[in-house]
Structure 1
């Protein structure tokens, strides 16, 4: 009888524990209405596809005048409500196809992602920054997926001069929630005005935008009080962000989730700071500030 009673009490404790855990989970969701998707794991942020099925729609260059059109990737389901959104710009002489892999990769993790073409492939970083913001405005105000987007939770990314444009966009619009320049290029090396959490990605073998004269000074010029990080890819080149890359994806996902979705479940991948590895030459930064 005592054994049976002990088992009964143990079962009761287990139920209570499960109920308590569920209550904590429910409370966490209530505390953060922007949280989307299941709890992340190392495998889930490295996976080629996330938990959301993705659809896409094309924006013709003829239908817009403030940027060059593009492709919108978005979670097919509307059951989770609205999502944060990210606009991504290509580099000098390049089209959206050079950053296209990021569209479905990020969208499947719970974002609306807009890979854009610029008005001219020769546009400089300042123009690319202006066009990134114009693309976000189109996305949230005019596009066919505008009702799927939380217009207060937006970010920007870009490669090369598109990365320089990412910094320009963040400088111009402090309300942005996240910025990620990928092997960025800009003649302006100092960005003390930026208030947007920024992850700067450089490459150790970059000869077009060497980290010593681009990504590193960009990073060090950001305010010390800012949520910021510098990821230098190991055995990588200027064009590494132009094809599928697990390291870029996992830290971009973690950064966007943490700062666009306020999802602290992703802090585990950003803090403690990642250590050098076969794919990471160097990682600098501060642990995300709690709000």
Structure 2
């Protein structure tokens, strides 16, 4: 049973045998040095087998887990453990969106990766969200930052374009072999954030959605079944949190894995440049829900407390998906 929580600022030593004695074996016999050596060797061999089995058992529990165990330092770093390559997707060779850039882990040693497509906002191009490409890809995702058909496209159109880009990525792109098409998510800034809500509404099978300072005329989203992290900004005058991000969050089903992160001392355009707080919680959310990697639950639950960069954080803990 999930519990709704709300954080707000206005809210063994070894035992020793007597010297010269040895523990008795069954039947009251005292072990010889040779017997002790054989017993210790057997114990060591058994322990070694246990250690060898553990990683395999863990991998069997979650075959989608990628990368080393995370720390606060690793998820706040400008780059994660994977080297990243990129490829340009020309507007001329796609339909339904305006092309873009795919960032992906260079190595194929770990198999396939989950993927996320990111839309810019009103009047914006992919350059405004480009920093997220290598930042997220280096943590173990294929990331597609896109251009829209026109810079004036509304959220419903941006939602359809996010889905068209996902389809291109998984079905026709040159990196489709690196993508697990069952593990997909969407992100977007401003009207692109509103578009990510539209995309999740249209395609319930998506694993994660992260609207960044989102804008949309539709305020309630009871249809969504995709785990959603909404990021607002306390100083947003374009899409004020009181009329956009907050009602979007409260309009999601209360049973859904959902969270609301309000950035402190931030503006509507904070997602347009490198931002450690956005990156940290985006990585954690995508890992937790696209990769089902519970190693990242520690950064989401207990709920993060208000800080120099966090004005407020609400959410459901623990997560159930």
Does the pair score TM above 0.5? yes
Query: TM-score of the superposition, structure 1-length normalised?
Result: 0.95
Matching of residue 282 in structure 1 with residue 309 in structure 2: no
Q: 1:89 aligns with which of 100, 103, 119?
A: 119
1:104 corresponding residue in structure 2: 134
How far is 1:34 from its partner? 0.7
CA distance in 1, matches of 2:310, 2:51: 36
Structure 1 residue runs of 5 or longer lacking an equivalent are none
Q: 2:204 aligns with which of 149, 170, 174?
A: 174
Query: TM-score of the superposition, structure 2-length normalised?
Result: 0.86
Q: Residue deviations 1:147-172, cap 9 Å, x none? A: 10000100000000000000000000
Q: 2:296 aligns with which of 266, 275, 279?
A: 266
How far is 1:20 from its partner? 3.5
Q: Secondary structure at the match of 1:281?
A: strand
Structure 2 residue runs of 5 or longer lacking an equivalent are 1-19, 23-32
Greater than 6 Å deviation, 4+ residue runs: 4-15
Cα gap change, 1:229 to 1:74, in 2 (>3 Å): same
Cα gap change, 1:271 to 1:120, in 2 (>3 Å): same
1:60 corresponding residue in structure 2: 90
Q: 1:216 aligns with which of 237, 243, 246?
A: 246
Q: Secondary structure at the match of 2:167?
A: helix
The structure having more radius of gyration, on CA atoms, is 2
Give matches, 1:4-153, under 5 Å. 19-153=49-183
Q: Secondary structure at the match of 1:139?
A: helix
How far is 1:9 from its partner? 7.7
CA distance in 2, matches of 1:250, 1:36: 16
CA distance in 2, matches of 1:155, 1:260: 7
Preserved contact between residue 118 and residue 143 of structure 2 (Cα < 8 Å): yes
Preserved contact between residue 194 and residue 214 of structure 2 (Cα < 8 Å): yes
Q: Secondary structure at the match of 2:148?
A: coil
How far is 1:62 from its partner? 1.1
How far is 1:8 from its partner? 9.6
